[in-house]
């Protein structure tokens, strides 16, 4: 229960609250409707201050840490779990709170500075969790668990987001956070919600493994285990083959030169052979000339001479004997020529044959070297290929390992999830009574407001808990808000009979937005009755111009419960007493 809210600044309008029903009333004058709505009277600010004192996260230049509020300290006096605590937090130094009151046994948690007992905000939150909700985590704490700050945000809802569903206090609230905290509030097995989230984390990790195993694979390769293993086997035999080839490879340092020389020799041999072929043909020609060219008989010369003597006697210049001698010489010279040519050519051919033979032998030797050795370049290439294959094999091995881990992990996760859900369902069954009681209370609240039955639906699905509230009355304006009200009152009631307990519920005027006057009146009266009977503190902030004064029961005087009246008639009428 919150006893009072104060500040170090004199303009602040301190509030004192009682147990049971409390109202903070905001009077809007006619002029204010034309003013900027940001300059509120302080209803929202009050909620902010309460959160601030009770360990809310802060951001510079936002909320209460704006420049205009520099130097402001806010103090909350509260009673919880039989202990009085006075906490002060400063806008100048929001990382710590100072604590006073029944703090004798808390010395270990903080340190004394300048005569004050200071606590780090995180430690303050832990302490509050223990004191107000009995939150005690084993060491080491599970990864996902209810937190004071989240639970408290249901007790004191803040911001428009908090009024859309009973189970959500923030727009981006994570699923596990919702499940864990609501389950805790409803006295259900919150541990399983956290464990389910841990399983989800595991699944994400496994999916990443599978992605890694599949990413960057060559086109056409399917990333299945069977496919990869087949590829690996193929690579293995290929690698072995290449390894053997490398082992038996002999590099010759002058391989290129030798290859070049062998090629040149081939060319030379070819040329020599061609030349010999041409010369052979020539020799044949000469030989056949020697045989076939029938030299005319020396006697024929006589015949010619005689003809000339008859046909052109005055032309004759030589005697017959001279002509015959001429003839003999011609013929003899001709034959001699042919024979010497033949001889000469045959000699040339023989020399070429010799050269051919020498070249062929030399080339044979070179070829032998070439066949049994390899060039350094070739060896290097082979080696590179080999290393590439080995690298590919390693890559495949990694992928296979990842896939195996994925498959293994996935089965494990499935099993774990099944077991977890079983445990959750069993536990759920065992808490049937608690659930029944909650439903009863909720139903009773809804009957009061709408004369219609209401239901609280809690289920276990594969994703964990699912929550819903129903009120069997449709079409009524603002029924959504009233669902939240009924739910919150139910939670407050159920916890009021427990120890420890927050013993507190605060509603901002937002909860009554768009609600029928009749329901609003019923709701306020219900809250008053429940808080008095149940022994918890209820605070609501209302606008005076939306009070359902006509619809209150006779004898219900709201003014009795007003602890503070805020007005915008003057600057001092707001909560902070200043305009900022």
Partner 1 sequence: MTLLPHKHVPTNRSLIGIGALVLQFLDSPSSVSHLWESVKANQEIASFGNFVLSLDYLFAIGAIEYERGLLSRSTR
Which residues of the chain form contacts with partner 1 (CB under 8 A)? 289, 293-296, 300-301, 304-305, 307-308, 311-312, 315-318, 322-323, 326-327, 329-331, 333-334, 337-338
Shortest approach of partner 1 to residue 372 CB, angstroms?
53
Q: Which is nearer to partner 1, 303 or 514 (CB)?
A: 303
Q: Which is nearer to partner 1, 36 or 292 (CB)?
A: 292
Nearer to partner 1, 289 or 567 (CB): 289
- Name which of 256 and 343 has its Cβ closer to partner 1: 343
Q: How far is the CB of 343 from partner 1 (least distance, A)?
A: 15
d(CA 331, CA 328): 5
Our CB check for partner 1 shows the closer of 89 and 327 to be 327
What span, in angstroms and rounded, lies between the C-alpha atoms of 90 and 95? 9
401: nearest Cα among 236, 228, 221, 238: 228
Closest contact distance (angstroms) between CB of 335 and partner 1 is 10
Nearest distance from residue 273's CB to partner 1, in Å?
26
Q: Is the Cβ of residue 339 or residue 380 nearer to partner 1 in the bound state?
A: 339
Q: In what order do the strands lie in the sheet with 21-27?
A: 504-507, 537-543, 21-27, 562-567
Q: 251 or 302: whose CB is closer to partner 1?
A: 302
Token digits of residue 291: 């045989």
Instruction: Give, in order, the Cα–Cα distances in Å from 435 to each of 438, 457, 567, 573.
Output: 5, 9, 43, 45
Query: Are 145 and 174 spatial neighbours (Cβ–Cβ below 8 Å)?
Result: no
Cα separation, 301 vs 325, in Å, equals 10
Identify the residue whose tokens are 């709201």: 558
Nearest in space to 269 (alpha carbons), one of 132, 385, 366: 366
The DSSP code for 7 is E
CB closer to partner 1 out of 34 and 317: 317
Residue in this structure with the two tokens 């009355």, named with its chain if needed:
473
Q: For 248-259, give one letter per residue: b (16+ CB within 10 A) or e.
A: eeeebeebeebb
176 versus 286: smaller Cβ distance to partner 1: 286
- Report residue 421 as tokens: 């859900």
CA distances from 239 to 233, 235, 560 (A): 10, 6, 92
- DSSP-assigned letter for residue 541: E
Angle of the 376-430 helix axis to the 432-450 helix axis, nearest 10: 70
Q: How far is the CB of 315 from partner 1 (least distance, A)?
A: 4
Q: State in angstroms the smallest separation of the CB of 305 from partner 1.
A: 6
- CB of 219 or CB of 312, closer to partner 1: 312
Element (H, E) at 526: helix 517-534
* Smallest distance, partner 1 to C-beta of residue 287, A: 14
DSSP label of 243: H
Reduced to 3 states, what is the DSSP secondary structure of residue 459?
strand
**HEC sequence for 8-34:** CCCCCCCEECCCCEEEEEEECCHHHHH
Determine the Cα–Cα distance for residues 195 and 421; give it in Å rounded to an integer.
10
CB of 313 to partner 1, least distance (A): 10
Helix axes 255-292, 376-430, angle to 10 degrees: 140
Closest CA to 173 of 467, 453, 512: 467
What is the smallest separation between the CB atom of 280 and partner 1, expressed in angstroms? Answer: 19
Residue closer to partner 1 by CB (options 70, 297) is 297
**Shortest Å, Cβ 276 to partner 1:** 22
The alpha carbon dihedral of 554, 555, 556, 562 has a sign of: positive
Give least dist CB 296 to partner 1, A.
Answer: 4
Q: Measured between alpha carbons, how far is 511 from 139 in angstroms, rounded to an integer?
A: 39
The nearest distance, CB 289 to partner 1, in angstroms, is 8
568 contacts 32 by C-beta, under 8 angstroms: yes
The first and second tokens of residue 303, run together, are: 């015949």
Q: Are 524 and 22 in contact (CB under 8 A)?
A: no
In the complex with partner 1, the residue whose CB is nearer, 243 or 337, is 337
Q: Pick between residue 245 and residue 301 the one whose CB is nearest to partner 1.
A: 301
Give the Cα separation of 340 and 482 in Å (integer).
136
Q: Pick the closer one to partner 1 by CB: 257 or 300.
A: 300
């Amino acid at each position: 229960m919150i006893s009072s809210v104060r500040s170090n600044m004199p303009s602040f309008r301190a509030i004192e609250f009682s147990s049971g029903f409390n109202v903070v009333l905001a009077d809007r004058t006619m002029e204010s409707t034309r003013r900027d709505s940001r300059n509120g009277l302080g209803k929202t600010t009050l909620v902010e201050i309460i959160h601030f004192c009770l360990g809310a996260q802060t951001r510079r230049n936002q909320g209460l840490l704006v420049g205009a509020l520099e130097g402001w300290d806010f103090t909350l006096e509260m009673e919880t779990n039989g202990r009085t605590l006075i906490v002060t937090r400063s806008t100048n130094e929001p990382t710590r709170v100072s604590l006073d009151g029944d703090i004798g046994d808390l010395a270990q948690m903080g340190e004394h500075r300048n005569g004050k007992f200071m606590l780090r905000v995180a430690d303050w939150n832990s302490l509050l969790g223990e004191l107000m909700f009995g939150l005690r985590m084993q060491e080491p704490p599970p990864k996902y668990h209810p937190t004071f700050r989240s639970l408290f945000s249901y007790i004191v809802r803040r911001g428009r987001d908090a009024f859309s569903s009973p189970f959500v206090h923030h727009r981006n609230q994570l699923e596990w956070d919702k499940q864990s905290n609501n389950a805790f509030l409803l006295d259900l097995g919150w541990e399983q919600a956290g464990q389910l989230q841990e399983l989800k984390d595991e699944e994400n990790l496994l999916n990443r493994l599978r992605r890694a195993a599949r990413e960057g694979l060559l086109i056409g390769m399917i990333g299945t285990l069977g496919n990869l293993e087949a590829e690996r086997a193929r690579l293995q035999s290929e690698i072995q083959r290449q390894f053997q080839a490398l082992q038996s490879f002999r590099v010759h340092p002058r391989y290129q030169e030798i290859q070049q020389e062998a090629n040149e020799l081939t060319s030379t041999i070819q040329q020599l052979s061609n030349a010999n072929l041409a010369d052979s043909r020539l020799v044949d020609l000469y030989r056949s000339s020697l045989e076939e060219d029938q030299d005319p008989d020396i006697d024929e010369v006589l015949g010619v001479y005689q003809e000339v003597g008859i046909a052109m006697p005055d032309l004759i210049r030589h005697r017959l004997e001279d002509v015959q001698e001429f003839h003999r010489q011609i013929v003899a010279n001709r034959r001699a020529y042919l024979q010497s040519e033949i001889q000469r050519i045959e000699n040339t051919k023989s020399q070429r044959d010799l050269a051919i033979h020498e070249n062929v032998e030399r080339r044979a030797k070179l070829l032998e070297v070439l066949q049994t050795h390899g060039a350094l370049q070739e060896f290097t290439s082979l080696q590179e290929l080999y290393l590439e294959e080995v690298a590919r094999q390693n890559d495949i091995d990694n992928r296979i390992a990842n896939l195996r881990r994925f498959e293994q992990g996935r089965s494990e996760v499935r099993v774990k999830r099944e077991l977890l859900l079983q445990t959750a369902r069993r536990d759920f069954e065992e808490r049937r009574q608690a659930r029944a009681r909650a439903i009863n209370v909720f139903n009773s609240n809804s009957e009061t407001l709408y004369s219609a039955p209401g239901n609280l639906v809690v289920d276990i699905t594969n994703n964990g808990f699912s929550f819903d509230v129903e009120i069997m009355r449709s079409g009524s304006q603002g029924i959504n808000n009233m669902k939240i009200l009924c739910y919150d009152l139910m939670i407050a009631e159920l916890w009021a009979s427990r120890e420890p307990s927050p013993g507190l519920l605060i509603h901002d005027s937002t909860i009554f937005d768009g609600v029928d006057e009749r329901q609003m009146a019923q709701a306020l009266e219900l809250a008053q009755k429940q808080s008095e009977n149940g022994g918890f503190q209820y605070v609501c902030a209302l606008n005076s111009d939306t009070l359902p004064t006509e619809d209150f029961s006779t004898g219900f005087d709201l003014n009795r419960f007003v602890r503070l009246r805020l007005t915008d008639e003057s600057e001092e009428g707001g909560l902070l007493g200043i305009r900022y």
